[in-house]
Structure 1
C-alpha cells in the first residue's frame, strides 16, 4: 500500500500550491500500464525524495527516470501530457493530431477550411462529419498550449460560440455551411466558468480530464492514439519530417505504406528504430485491464 501522506506542499506549473498526493502518482502509473507492485515501489521512492516546495515538474522527472529504467513503454505513456505539448510551439500539429484522432473515431475531417459567416469569413480549425446514423457536421476550434499552466478560459468558449453563431446565421441565409455542433478541444484543463458556459450553450468541450472520464487523455488512451512525440527519440527535426509526410500518430508508423514513410526523408535505419519504438509502446500492457466505457461525447 502507498505510505502515509507526507505534510509536504508542491508547486504546480501555474504557481498554485497544493498538498503532495502520492495516490495521484499511483493512479497515473497504473493507467499508463505499470503493475501495482512496481507502481507502489516507485511511489515509495518518490515519497522518500520529495521536499516541501518541490515542483510538479521535478516530481514528473523523478517518476519518468525511475519508470524508464524498468518499463520504457510505461514511461512514454506516463509522459503523454508533455508529449502533446511537444507538438508545438505553434498549434498546427495539434490541429492535425485532433483531426487524425477524430478520424479514428469514425469522423471525416477537413483541416483549416475558410467558411463564410454572416459578418466575416472564418478559418475553422477542423470540420468533422459523421454519417453513420444521423448526419452530423461539427465546427471544431483547437485551443493549444505549449507550456504547462495554460487553461481554457471563459473568453475562449465565448469566442468559439460567437463564431459558431456567425457561421450558422450565414447558412440560414443560404450563404455558407450549417454546423450541427460546436466543439472546443484543448490539451490543457478548463476553468470552472468555461465548463459552465460550455454546458449552458451546448458546446462540446474536450480538455485534459474534462469531461470526467471522457477527457482528451481518455480518448487517446482508449484507442492508443498517441502522438509521435510520445516516442522518446522523436526530436523537433524528426517531428517536422514525420508531420510533413502526414504522420502524427504512433500507430501510423506501423500502418503507413513504405511510400509514405519514405516521404519523411528519414533514413531506413532511423525509420526502423522509430518503428521498433512504436511496436514497443503499443505492446500489451502488463496486467492492466484496458477496457474503458465509450464516451458519449464522440
Structure 2
C-alpha cells in the first residue's frame, strides 16, 4: 500500500505521519494502552485524502471518553486557543500572562505615543533592563499564515515608538519588539524578523520556546481547554475576564457568579486543577 495522503487545514496534501500522531497523543500524558487503541482505530479508518480535522476528531473523542478529561483538554490546546475569540482581546491577556510568568511586568492594550503618531500596543512589557512592545496576531481558524506584511508593518510602528522613547528617556532601556501568533509565520516573515531584530513566536516556532512550549512550561492553559465546560459557560467566563484555568482555581466562586450548574462544579474544578498543576510533574 502506498503512502496515505492527508489534507491539512490549508488544503495542502501531505504524507500521513503515524509517529507525529503518537507524539501528539503522548504529550497529553494518556496511558500507552489508550494511545495504542487510538492509533489502531485511526489506522483502520484511514483513507487517501482524509482531513487532519477528521483524524483529530477521532482521537479527541476517544480521549474524552477516557477516565481523565485532562488528556482530552491537553490534546485540544491548539483548537482551544482559537476558541478564545471572536475578538483578539482574550488572546492578548493570555499572552500577557505567559510573558508575566517569565518574570516581566505586563500591561494590555496601552496607547503609546510615537514620534509621528500614537499607537495602541497589545502588550507593553518591562523589567529593569528591557522595554518591550508585543503585538498579538490572533486567528480563529486553522491554516492562517502570517506573511511578511505583518512584521514589516509592526516594525514600522516600533521604529516610530522607539524614536519618541529615546527622545524622552535616552538609551536607558533596551528596546525590543515581539510578535506572538497562535498560528504560523511564513518562511519570508521569519527571515525578515531575524534580519530586522524582531522576536517572532508562533504555535510551533521557535523550537523549544514556541507558544505551545511556553503554555506547557508554565501550566497556563486557557479555560477553553476545559471539556467539562459548555461553550455558553466559557463565553460567560471570558466576558468576566477569566482566561486561565488557574484563575478559576484561585476563585471557584466565579462559577456561581456566572450561573454555572452547581452539579458541574466538582468536575470543572478537578479538570482546571489538573491542567494548572501539569508543570509540577513535567518540568
User: Do residues 221 (structure 1) and 221 (structure 2) align?
Assistant: no
Any idea what SS the aligned residue of 1:44 has?
helix
Distance 1:53 1:150 in 2: 20
What is the aligned partner in structure 2 of residue 144 from structure 1?
138
Higher mean Cα deviation, 179-188 or 64-73? 64-73
User: Do residues 86 (structure 1) and 80 (structure 2) align?
Assistant: no
User: Do residues 201 (structure 1) and 196 (structure 2) align?
Assistant: yes
Superposed displacement of residue 264, structure 1: 4.5
TM-score computed with the length of structure 1 as normaliser? 0.86
What is the root-mean-square deviation in Å for CA atoms of aligned residues?
2.5
Unaligned runs of 5+ in 1: 292-298
Distance 1:79 1:91 in 2: 19
**What is the aligned length?**
280
- CA 1:208 to 1:262, structure 2 compared with 1: closer, same or farther past 3 Å? closer
Unaligned runs of 5+ in 2: none
What is the aligned partner in structure 2 of residue 250 from structure 1?
245
What is the aligned partner in structure 1 of residue 271 from structure 2?
277
Q: Is the 8 A contact 1:152 1:191 kept in 2?
A: yes
What is the aligned partner in structure 2 of residue 49 from structure 1?
45
Q: Is the 8 A contact 1:73 1:281 kept in 2?
A: yes
- CA 1:176 to 1:228, structure 2 compared with 1: closer, same or farther past 3 Å? farther
Distance 1:58 1:197 in 2: 35
Distance 2:113 2:184 in 1: 30
Any idea what SS the aligned residue of 2:246 has?
helix
Q: Is the 8 A contact 2:69 2:227 kept in 1?
A: no
Higher mean Cα deviation, 186-195 or 66-75? 66-75
Q: Is the 8 A contact 1:227 1:250 kept in 2?
A: yes
Superposed displacement of residue 185, structure 1: 0.3
- CA 1:273 to 1:66, structure 2 compared with 1: closer, same or farther past 3 Å? closer
User: Do residues 158 (structure 1) and 155 (structure 2) align?
Assistant: no
Distance 2:79 2:170 in 1: 38
